[in-house]
Amino acid sequence: MNQNIETKIKQTLSKIKLNKKNKILVALSGGKDSSVVAYVLKKLGYTIEGFHIDLKMGGYSEKCLNAVKKLCEELDIKLHVYDIRKEMGNSMCNIRLSVQSQSKNKIKNCAICGVIKKWILNKEARKLKADYIATGHHLDDETQTFLLNILKGSPELNANTGVITKNVKDKMFIPRIKPLFFILEKDIKEYSLKHKLPVVYEKCPCAIDSYRIQIREFMGSLSDKQKENLMKNELKVLDRIKKEHKKIRYCEICGEPARGKVCRMCALMRK
Ligand code: AMP
Ligand code: ZN
């Protein structure tokens, strides 16, 4: 099974023709998924550096930061730490609460955190002249997101699903890759335990998005094969749809890439 993960990652990466000299910034949360990404990419000879956003959420964040530091030491890779309190003036919990208190509809914790993390990652990866950002998203994450988008009535959001972000070519935008796209969460956990990676196995204390939890429970009733088929067939359908290279716009407020006049981060902040 473990050998299998490495082979699957190799096959996944061969689809996007990565160059071993390209600089890949691995977004490290301190959890098992992104740690396995760093471990395997390093083992396969890619040029990687780690990037961790210290969310300053008390003891949980401290444990994550320590795990990430240890991992990067063990792998002998450079680690960049972004201190959210220093850079943005507050902890993730307070930023999130302030956004929620100002918005009419309650936006879910993970949705806010996700938008902010993506915004930081792109901006900082660009500063660090990275060619790619790699995240730890895996097959279970991706099938959940896929179903969530459909159930929420936004199937078009699935158009960007894939091992690499599609439809965006722009000097301001750093492409994101997901080396674990075809790998099941349970296999990642097994691999991480077997290699004794320094990892925080607890879930984030703020991850209480009930909708995602409901979908996760439903996904639990599917077999591994059914999950794999769901994603493979989704990709086949997407490949047939004529892809448009949408022109990227820049946010009127912060200048980062955006779909509309204002990016999702600034839209959140101004609610
Ligand atoms: P999540 O949205 O927490 O499931 O995380 C998805 C992916 O985003 C992880 O696999 C990491 O690659 C990245 N990520 C999450 N949290 C952080 C963080 N604090 N710092 C850097 N990258 C992160
Ligand atoms: Zn913006």
pLDDT digits 0-9 by tens, 10-48: 999 998 888 999 999 999 999 999 999 999 999 999 999
Measured CA distances, 5 to 8, 28, 186, 233 (Å): 5, 19, 11, 21
- Residue 152 CA to residue 214 CA, distance in Å, equals 13
Residue 208 reports pLDDT greater than 60: yes
Closest CA to 70 of 12, 30, 122: 30
Residue 127 reports pLDDT greater than 70: yes
What average pLDDT does range 186-209 have in this prediction?
A: 93
Q: Report whether residue 117 contacts ligand 1, using a CB cutoff of 6 Å.
A: yes
Ligand 1 test: best mutation among 135, 138, 145, most atoms within 8 Å of CB?
135
Q: Report whether residue 136 contacts ligand 1, using a CB cutoff of 6 Å.
A: yes
The pLDDT of residue 245 is 53
* Residue with CA at minimum distance from ligand 1 atom 17: 29
Residue 1 reports pLDDT greater than 60: no
Q: Which domain holds residue 69?
A: 2-269
Q: Are 23 and 125 in contact (CB under 8 A)?
A: no
- In this structure, of 113-122, 145-154, 171-180, the range with the lowest mean pLDDT score is 145-154
- Residue 27 CA to residue 41 CA, distance in Å, equals 13
Residue 118 reports pLDDT greater than 90: yes
Q: What is the CATH number of the domain that holds 195?
A: 3.40.50.620
**Number of domains observed in the structure of the chain:** 1
Residue 242 reports pLDDT greater than 70: no
Band of the pLDDT at 122, cuts 50, 70, 90? very high
pLDDT winner (highest mean) among 124-128, 142-146, 225-229, 256-260: 124-128
Task: Kindly report the number of other CB atoms within 10 A of residue 244's CB atom.
Answer: 8
For β-strands 249-250 and 257-258, DSSP reports them as: antiparallel
What pLDDT, in 10s, does the model give residues 46-77?
A: 999 999 999 999 999 999 999 999 999 999 99
pTM above 0.75, yes or no: yes
Map tokens 């071993």 to a residue: 20
Residue 167 reports pLDDT greater than 80: no
Q: Report whether residue 118 contacts ligand 1, using a CB cutoff of 6 Å.
A: no
Mean pLDDT of the chain: 90
Band of the pLDDT at 240, cuts 50, 70, 90? low
- Residue 176 CA to residue 24 CA, distance in Å, equals 9
Share of the chain above pLDDT 70, in %: 94
What pLDDT, in 10s, does the model give residues 76-104?
A: 999 999 999 999 999 999 999 999 988 87
